[in-house]
Structure formats: structure tokens, C-alpha cells
């Protein structure tokens, strides 16, 4: 066993304890009906059932930092998660985890630890979203989150199974705003580009708050409805 620094040894011991706790049901990540996949207290047992209308409108914000964009060879370095309501108020702050460990630390792990390295992370994030969202109801949200989704689909499938299949991608709204509302787009808050997962999520939420306040305006106006290629005006009170 390679000689580890004192800090690496402490991290290894802490991580091993987490793995041991998971080993009590280590097949849980892939076995239907396991404790990991079973509904949390207060949740219905059927996917798609609702306990509260407000909870179904929540958004699960995720940001990953990866070594690259190739899901076949690149790795997740860091992951963070936040929950907001439909008005983009932050309701809960989840784990913010550095996933990729130093090579000397990985070399010091047993083969079983290496195999399950990352599954502990999935369990931690899955436990968090199950506490705050009903199964199958809330979409994944973020900036260019389609790229994050590819990695999550591969490396954290049970986490993704809990979420709705749709996504809320702030980058799509950004590109549409740049084309349709260029003046408003000029005032979009600038990002700090820290490349830290939690800070990136907060900036994405702030950006979407700006679009909501300045572009998705709710007021009484004439709505243009297109039916069979013909435009019809309809006065509507939007709320």
C-alpha cells in the first residue's frame, strides 16, 4: 500500500466509513425496490403522484465541473445542487462535492472502494433531492445543462430517474433573448467565471431572474395567436 500523507490518510478513512455505510446495501443503486429507490417518508410510492402542487413546480439546479465534454473518457470533478421554487427563490442548498480524488488516494483504496467511488456521491445527492422534490415531477435546471445531463445519465442514473425528463436550460433563453430582445440582453448580469459549481448555479439563477423580470413580463396586453398560419389578436390578462 503506497505511503499517503496524513491529510490523504484522513480523507481515505472518512471516505471508507461512508463506503462501509453504503456497503450495507451496496446493490441498492441498481436493484428496484431497494431502500435507496424506495419512496422517502411522506412521498407516495408511485412515480408521478403528487403530495403538494407547490413541490411539483420546484426546480433542481445542478452544475458539474468536468475534465472535458467527452462523456466516454472525461470525469466529473465537482458537483453542486440547489432547489428553487417556481419564482426562483432558493429553498435548499444541497451537497457541494469534490468528486475526483488525487491518484495517490485512489491507489490506497481497495478494489471495492474504487468500484463504488462516486456511488456514495450519487446516494448523497439523491437523498437530498428526495427530501425536497416529489419523484418524476421536477426538472433539471442550469446553464448549458444538457451537457451536465449527459454525464448524470451515465454516472448517476438513479439521481436522474428521480427528476422529470424535461430540462430548463438558461442558455436557451440567453440565445433567444440575444436575438429577440437585444437591448434587454445588453443588461444581463455578467458572470465571474469562477468555474466552481455552487457559484455557477447561483449566477445561473440570478441570470434567469433577470430574464423573468425584464423579458417574461406579466401584464395586460394583446396576445397574437397563430392558427393555421393566420394571426388573431386576443386581449388577455396575464398573471
- Mean local confidence (pLDDT), 76-92: 95
Q: Is residue 28 pLDDT above 60, yes or no?
A: no
In this prediction, residues 8-23 reach a mean pLDDT of 40
Cell of 111: 478494489
Closest to 206 measured CA to CA, from 144, 142, 155: 142
The pLDDT mean for the chain works out to 76
Give the range with max mean pLDDT: 71-75, 157-161, 216-220: 157-161
Q: Average pLDDT, stretch 38-45?
A: 44
The predicted-structure confidence for 117-175, as pLDDT tens digits, reads as follows: 456 788 999 999 999 999 999 999 999 999 999 999 999 999 999 999 999 999 999 99
Res 31: pLDDT? 38
Residue 49 C-alpha cell reads as: 403522484
> For the domain with range 53-237, which CATH number is right: 3.30.420.10, 3.40.50.10470, 2.40.50.1020, 3.40.190.10?
3.30.420.10
The pLDDT, as a whole number, for residue 233 is 66
> Please, what is the Cα angle at 98 between 92 and 102, to 5 degrees?
170
| Sheet with 59-66, edge to edge strand ranges | 90-98, 76-84, 59-66, 140-142, 167-169
Average pLDDT over residues 174-188: 96
Q: Which is nearest to 86 in space by CA: 46, 127, 52?
A: 52
For residue 80, what pLDDT is reported? 96
CA atoms within 13 A on the CB side of 5: 7
DSSP letter for 38, please.
S
Write down the pLDDT at residue 143. Answer: 96
**Which band of pLDDT confidence, cut at 50, 70 and 90, is reported for residue 24?**
very low
pLDDT at 196: 87
Report the first-to-last Cα separation within the chain, whole angstroms. Answer: 64
Instruction: Report how far residue 155's alpha carbon sits from residue 140's, in angstroms, rounded to the nearest whole number.
Output: 15
User: The pTM is what?
Assistant: 0.71
Predicted confidence (pLDDT) at residue 81 exceeds the cutoff of 50: yes
* Residue 211, φ and ψ in degrees, nearest 5: -60, -40
pLDDT higher at 52 or 113? 52
Catalytic residue numbers read: 195
**Contact status, residue 97 vs residue 79, Cβ threshold 8 Å:** yes
Q: What pLDDT sits at residue 44?
A: 42
215: pLDDT strictly greater than 70:
yes
pLDDT given for residue 122 in this prediction: 87
How does strand 140-142 pair with strand 167-169? parallel
Which residues 6+ apart lie within 8 Å of 211 measured at CB? 170, 173, 174, 177, 188
Q: Left, alpha or beta for 44 (phi > 0: left; psi -120 to 50: alpha)? A: beta
Q: Report residue 100: phi and psi, to 5°.
A: -75, 125
Taking residues 34-53, report their average pLDDT: 47
The pLDDT value given to residue 66 = 87
Amino acid at each position: 500500500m503506497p505511503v499517503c500523507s496524513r491529510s490523504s490518510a484522513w480523507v481515505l478513512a472518512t471516505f471508507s466509513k461512508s463506503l462501509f455505510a453504503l456497503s450495507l446495501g451496496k446493490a441498492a443503486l441498481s436493484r428496484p425496490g431497494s431502500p435507496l429507490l424506495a419512496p422517502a417518508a411522506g412521498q407516495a410510492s408511485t412515480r408521478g403522484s403528487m403530495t403538494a402542487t407547490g413541490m411539483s413546480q420546484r426546480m433542481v439546479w445542478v452544475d458539474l465541473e468536468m475534465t472535458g465534454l467527452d462523456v466516454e473518457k472525461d470525469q466529473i470533478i465537482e458537483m453542486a445542487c440547489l432547489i428553487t421554487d417556481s419564482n426562483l427563490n432558493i429553498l435548499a442548498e444541497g451537497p457541494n462535492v469534490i468528486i475526483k480524488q488525487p491518484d495517490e488516494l485512489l491507489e490506497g483504496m481497495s478494489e471495492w472502494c474504487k468500484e463504488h467511488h462516486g456511488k456514495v456521491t450519487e446516494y448523497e445527492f439523491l437523498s437530498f433531492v428526495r427530501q425536497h422534490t416529489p419523484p418524476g415531477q421536477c426538472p433539471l435546471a442550469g446553464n448549458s445543462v444538457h451537457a451536465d445531463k449527459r454525464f448524470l445519465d451515465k454516472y448517476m442514473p438513479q439521481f436522474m430517474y428521480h427528476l422529470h425528463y424535461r430540462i430548463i436550460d438558461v442558455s436557451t433563453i440567453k440565445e433567444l433573448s440575444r436575438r429577440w430582445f437585444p437591448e434587454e440582453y445588453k443588461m444581463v448580469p455578467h458572470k465571474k467565471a469562477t468555474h466552481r459549481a455552487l457559484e455557477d448555479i447561483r449566477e445561473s439563477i440570478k441570470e434567469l431572474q433577470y430574464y423573468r423580470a425584464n423579458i417574461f413580463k406579466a401584464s395586460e396586453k394583446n396576445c397574437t395567436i397563430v392558427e393555421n398560419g393566420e394571426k388573431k389578436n386576443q386581449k388577455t390578462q396575464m398573471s
